[in-house]
Chains A and B, each alone.
Chain A
Amino acid sequence: MGNWVVNHWFSALFLAVWLGLNVFLFVDAFLKYEKADKYFYTREILGPSLACARASALCLNFNSMLILLPVCRNLLSFLRGTCSFCSRTLRKQLDHNLTFHKLVAYMICLHTAIHIIAHLFNFHRYSRTRQATDGSLASILSGLSHGEKEGGSWLNPIQSPDMTVEYVTFTSIAGLTGVIMTIALILMVTSATKFMRRSYFEVFWYTHHLFVFYILGLAIHGIGGIVRGQTEESMNENHPHECAESFQKWDDHDSHCRSPQFEGHPPESWKWILAPVILYIFERILRFYRSQQKVVITKVVMHPSKVLELQMNKRGFSMEVGQYIFVNCPSISLLEWHPFTLTSAPEEDFFSIHVRAAGDWTENLIRAFEQQDSSIPRIEVDGPFGTVSEDVFQYEVAMLVGAGIGVTPFASILKSIWYKFQHGDHDLKTQKAGHAALNFDKATDIVTGLKQKTSFGRPMWDNEFSTIATSHPKSVVGVFLCGPQTLAKSLRKCCHRYSSLDPRKVQFYFNKENF
């Protein structure tokens, strides 16, 4: 337990703050709509489902604001760069951006469900009181008419007793945008399950662009002002605490209570999402701008096991170790951008990627380059974006584990370490770097070209970890993995087990690449 805390305290804190804010916003809005006098008459018709709907709406606004931020990769790279003085733990948080994006998405789904269910009850109650003829306060309030000279002192959006809730849903802006947003959300979620992403990435990528409809829908969802509260002036003429009882006598000559007047809110969702939307638009513009820059392919190498190496040049391109780029090949697909780790070192005068055939797009790419008679396809590049491998040099001892094509980030690191040793770089803290490449093909590493001891088969991690722990008893060891989930579990367990509780003794920090 202690080791878990050491490795994860910042994540836990961050999530606790996020959850706490969600709970706070929910409860705050709930109490406001449940207790405020302004909504007394509204509650008379709707009951507690009003407060439920509004509370979940506020949480939806909050989370919709947050959801775009973790995928603004340039923003994250910028934060990582400016925060170089920050502790490693803080910067590691930025690697979990996709996890956070998913968590926020789940929260949005949860609050969407609460919001819709609450509004179903709201519409049902509005409809019922509109049709009621029992002369109750609720039915009187429902009957306050629309389209009066004051601009509508109405409370109930259902204008006549034979108007159905379905009609109101599909003819009001709030209802229609709500349906569109929810369907977009559901389609995004079903195409984004892990199975779909791994098997059919294009379906996920294209469908996920439905978020545009979600954002647009959210921005105009509240325009109709369907949620009504009593106006200030009306509260002076008809305060609920004094006048609610005597509702049959409103507007009578001898009564001092007038009929209440209601107004809707102006929409407020756009205020929440405006800044992230602008940031994200910048990100896409930046991607487009970068895609227009010329990429010169200097060398193409076809490796065994259908691995294609592309060495390229681009003006103004500079990278750090282990960063990744997004690559687009217009002749294969105009809109698809796929991430690849850079396998070259920053010290080299080109940058390279190794691409393995793992789906439609990669197979088409390899096929396009295999044809020697036709001209080389054009490539567009966006990036580089930083991931955890940048931190490798901050550890005294680095343990790099790569499985299959997952060796690519570490290729870059090892080459860079080699160059740094050559040039006598004093900033290099790393004294020892061990590389386990779980790679069944050749004795010479196909990626780096370095002759090194490559271990074949499955290592006994406990042995490896205890050896390192005993030979470096006071060091901070960074364990870096790019590989499958099962391997991540074993390594993470070993990191916890072999990290000493005493922060001065050996500490294993586990870092995992994820795309």
Chain B
Amino acid sequence: MGQIEWAMWANEQALASGLILITGGIVATAGQFTQWYFGAYSIAAGVFVCLLEYPRGKRAKGSTMERCGQRYMTAVVKLFGPLTRNYYIRAVLHLLLSVPAGFLLATILGTACLAIASGIYLLAAVRGEQWTPIEPASPREGGMAGRAHHQHRPSNPPPRPPAEARKKARATAGGSPRAAPRPTRVPVTDEVV
């Protein structure tokens, strides 16, 4: 359990809470329930939470899967500097945001979920975690991700078979269009299905 980044789970939980707040708020407002204005608040709070939590932070260890199209929000969230970097602030913010929604049954589920997310963020903050934006891929990494066009032939890569076998293979294959074997310089992350 030593290396869990709680902020990642808090982020998923907060994003889900945002959606639940929006849904509960819509139900309360559309159904014109008693005190439905709390529902209207809940929609606004939910949208705000979703926008804030959509850009996933960078993992301290390993590569991070970006959410689709998150770089636009990353740019915005980055602007607030320490306000969004610090998880103590996020924990308090989420707790405060969740309170008004607790007055209405339709949105109380959102309150509970956001409060839980706040708690997990608090745990993350205590353990010294921070929100780091995921920067767009550097040119070197971007090139590696593409096909073989940009590859330079390595001079002596480890995984090549011995020279005789290579010569034999080239002779029999007669210059096949096969791409030259190349070692990856980028650390390979294993996503075993």
A residues contacting B by CB (< 8 A) are 113, 116-117, 120-121, 123-124, 127-128, 165-166, 169, 179, 182-183, 186-187, 189-191, 193-196, 198-200, 202-203, 333, 356, 358-360, 403-406, 440-441, 443, 456-460, 463, 481-485, 488, 512-515
Contact = CB atoms under 8 A, between A and B. Distances in A.
Given A200-B9, A459-B178, A484-B190, 14 more contacts: A113-B23, A117-B23, A123-B105, A190-B9, A190-B13, A196-B9, A199-B5, A200-B8, A359-B3, A441-B159, A456-B160, A457-B159, A458-B179, A460-B177
Given A360-B2, A440-B159, A190 B192 contact: no
Contacts of A187: 13, 116
B37 to A, nearest CB: 15
Given A120-B105, A127-B34, A165-B105, A484 B193 contact: yes
A485 B193 contact: yes
Q: Which of A128, A403, A441 has the largest number of chain B CB atoms within 10 A?
A: A403
B135 interface: no
A462 B180 CA distance: 16
A202 B1 CA distance: 7
A456 B159 contact: yes
Contacts of A195: 8, 12, 56, 65
Query: SS class of chain A's interface: helix, strand, loop or mixed?
Result: helix
Given A187-B13, A199-B62, A456-B161, A488 B193 contact: yes
A229 B1 CA distance: 51
Contacts of A358: 190
21 contacts: A113-B23, A117-B27, A120-B106, A124-B31, A124-B33, A124-B34, A183-B116, A186-B109, A189-B16, A195-B12, A196-B9, A199-B5, A360-B2, A404-B190, A404-B192, A405-B190, A456-B160, A456-B181, A482-B193, A483-B193, A512-B193
A198 B191 contact: yes
Contact of B16 (A186, A203, A458, A460): A186
A214 to B, nearest CB: 15
A179 B162 CA distance: 65
Contacts of B191: 198, 484-485
A19 to B, nearest CB: 23
- In the A-B complex, the 3 residue pairs with the closest CB atoms: A457-B181, A190-B12, A456-B181
Contacts of A186: 13, 16, 20, 109, 113
Q: Which of B20, B59, B188, B193 has the most CB of A within 10 A?
A: B193
Contacts, number: 125
A118 B108 CA distance: 15
Interface in B100-116: 105-106, 108-109, 112-113, 116
B182 interface: yes
B142 interface: no
A189 B17 CA distance: 12
B168 to A, nearest CB: 11
B161 A515 contact: no
Interface residues of B, number: 49
A312 B15 CA distance: 45
B105 A166 contact: yes
Nearest to A336: B1
A169 B15 CA distance: 25
Contacts of A481: 193
Most-contacted residue by chain A among B12, B23, B181 (CB, 10 A)? B12
Given A196-B8, A203-B9, A515 B192 contact: yes
B126 interface: no
Contacts of B176: 463
A185 to B, nearest CB: 11
A379 to B, nearest CB: 20
B2 A356 contact: no
A202 B4 contact: yes
B128 interface: no
Contacts of A515: 192-193
Contacts of B13: 186-187, 190
A196 B31 contact: no
B188 A514 contact: no
A440 B187 CA distance: 12
Contacts of B5: 199-200
Nearest to A457: B181
Most chain B CB within a 10 A radius of its CB, from A116, A356, A515: A116
Nearest to B5: A200
Contacts of B184: 440
A179 B184 CA distance: 50
Nearest to A406: B192
Contacts of B4: 200, 202-203, 360
B183 interface: yes
A183 B112 contact: yes
B139 interface: no
Nearest to A513: B193
A333 B4 CA distance: 15
Given A183-B112, A460-B178, A404 B34 contact: no
B136 to A, nearest CB: 19
Contacts of A182: 109
B174 interface: no
B82 to A, nearest CB: 25
B33 A404 contact: no
Contact of A404 (B59, B65, B178, B188): B188
Contact of B31 (A120, A359, A485): A120
A440 B158 contact: yes
Contacts of B182: 457
Contact of A191 (B12, B20, B178, B179): B12
A440 B179 contact: no
Contacts of B177: 460
Nearest to B1: A202
Interface string B153-185: 000001111100000000000001111111110
Given A441-B159, A485-B191, A193 B12 contact: yes
A514 B192 CA distance: 8
A191 B116 CA distance: 13
